[in-house]
Amino acid sequence: MRIELGRASFDVCKYDSRFVVEEFLAALEAAGANEKTVKSYRAALNDFFDFVSWKNVCDVTTEDIVKWRLERLRKGFRGEKYGGRRARQATLYYYTLFLSRFFEWCGISIKVPKVRRPKRKEPEVLKPEEIARMLEASRDLLDLLIVSLLVETGLRAEEALSLRFSDIDLVRREIRVRNAKFGEERVVFIGPLTLEVLKRIIELRKPLPDERVIPLSYSGLYKRLKTLAKRAGIDPRKVRPHILRHTFATEALRRGLDVTIVQRILGHRDLKTTQIYLHLIKEDIKQRYLQVFSAPVASTPMQSPYLAPHPIAIPAPYQGYAYGYPQYATPPHSPSTGGHSTPPGGIHTYPAQHYSLQQYPQAQGVDSAHRCPNCGAVVPSNARFCPNCGYMIKSS
C-alpha cells in the first residue's frame, strides 16, 4: 500500500543529510506508516548514506547508487541474518524502492536503478504428523496455545502477540485482529483445539480483558517454538512462526476451503499471494483428477464425463483413434489380432489396453501410395516423413 507523503516543506540542499533523513522518516510515520515500515526505511537510508559518507542529498549521483548496489550484491549487508546472493537481491529490491521514494519526497530528480525481485520460493510447511508431535511435546498450556492458535488461524506472529483477551469471543468462536498488516482489522475463527485451550486458560488464570493472550516478545515466541521442535524430534530450522501460517493456509486449501475465503482469513490484499499455496497441494489435485478421470465408463460407445449419461457416437473416419479408455470403438475393418467382438452396428470393442496407431489396419478407400511403407499409417501426399513412426518417405 503506497502512503502519500507529498514533498519536503524545506530546501533539503541546505541541511545535513542526517537531518533530512530524520525529517523524511517523521513524515512517513505521520502519514500512517507502521513502526516496522519506518524501521525498514531507516535501515535502507542509513545503509546507503553510510556508503556515500553522508554526502549532501543534492550531491548524490546515479553513479553513487550503482556503486552501492554492486557492493552490496557482492559483499552483502552488515549484520545480515541470511547470506547468499538471492537474499541480498531481495533486500536490494526493497531498498532501491525506499531510496527512490526518499528522493521523490526530497524533490530531487535522480534515476535509481531498480533491482529485479527474486522469484518467490515455494512456502515451507509442516506435515500433519509433525504438528501432532509438537502438540504432544508441549510442556504447558502456553505451548499448546501457541501451536494451536497459529496453525488453526493462520495469524502472523505480530498479530498473535498483540491479541488481548477482549479480542476473543468464545461464544461466537471469533477473534478480532486489530494489529493487522496495512492497519486493516479482520476476523479469524477459533478452531476446536484452540477453543479448548483458551477455555482452560481463562478458567485457571481469570485474566483481565486487556491482558495479552500470549505474554511473549517475538524473540521469546521464536525461541519457544525452536525448543518445542527439538522436544518433538523435528529439525528446528523447519519451525518458525510464519511456517505455521503457511501450514494453516495449505491445510485449509487441502480440506476444501475456497481460496478466496483463505485469502480473507489470512488478510492478503492480493489473491495472487494466496494462490502460491495451491502449488503445495498439486499432488492432492492430481490424485483427485486421476480418481475422477480413471472411473470406468459404463456405456458403449464412448461416453464423455461432461455429457453423461448421453453417449457420444464417434464419426466413422475417427473410429479407432482412442487413448487408453477401458474400451473404445474401432473401424469396420478390424485388425487380425483377435480378442475382440463385433456388436450390432459394426462397432468393435477391445480389451482395456493401449494401442498405438500402427496397430490399426488400412482404412477403406485410401490409396496405398498415401501410406507409410514401414508401418502402413495414412500420410499426406506431400509428407517427407511418416507422422506415426518417423520413417522417411521422400528424400529432399
Catalytic residue among 245, 246, 328, 360, which? Answer: 245
Catalytic residue among 39, 230, 238, 242, which? Answer: 242
Q: Is 268 a catalytic residue?
A: yes
Burial class of residue 283, CB neighbours in 10 A (0-12, 13-18, 19+): exposed
Q: Is 245 a catalytic residue?
A: yes
Q: Is 370 a catalytic residue?
A: no
Which DSSP category does 297 fall into? P
Q: Is 246 a catalytic residue?
A: no
Q: Is 254 a catalytic residue?
A: no
- Give the span between the Cα atoms of 124 and 143, in whole angstroms: 21
Catalytic residue among 42, 186, 268, 333, which? Answer: 268
* Residue 62: C-alpha distances to residues 54, 98, 112, 261 (Å): 15, 15, 6, 45
Residue pair 236/132 in contact (Cβ under 8 Å)? The answer is no
Catalytic residue among 181, 224, 246, 348, which? Answer: 181
CB atoms within 10 A of CB 252: 21
Catalytic residue among 156, 224, 246, 348, which? Answer: 156
Place of cell 518417405: 393
Query: Which set of grid coordinates corresponds to residue 309?
Result: 449419461
Which DSSP category does 270 fall into? S
Burial class of residue 155, CB neighbours in 10 A (0-12, 13-18, 19+): buried
Catalytic residue among 72, 95, 101, 277, which? Answer: 277
- Give the span between the Cα atoms of 7 and 101, in whole angstroms: 10
Query: Which set of grid coordinates corresponds to residue 51?
Result: 556508503
- Give the span between the Cα atoms of 301 and 338, in whole angstroms: 20
* Residue 71: C-alpha distances to residues 44, 46, 55, 78, 92 (Å): 14, 15, 18, 12, 11
Nearest to 391 by CA among 377, 366, 320: 377
Residue pair 48/98 in contact (Cβ under 8 Å)? The answer is no
Catalytic positions: 156, 181, 242, 245, 268, 277
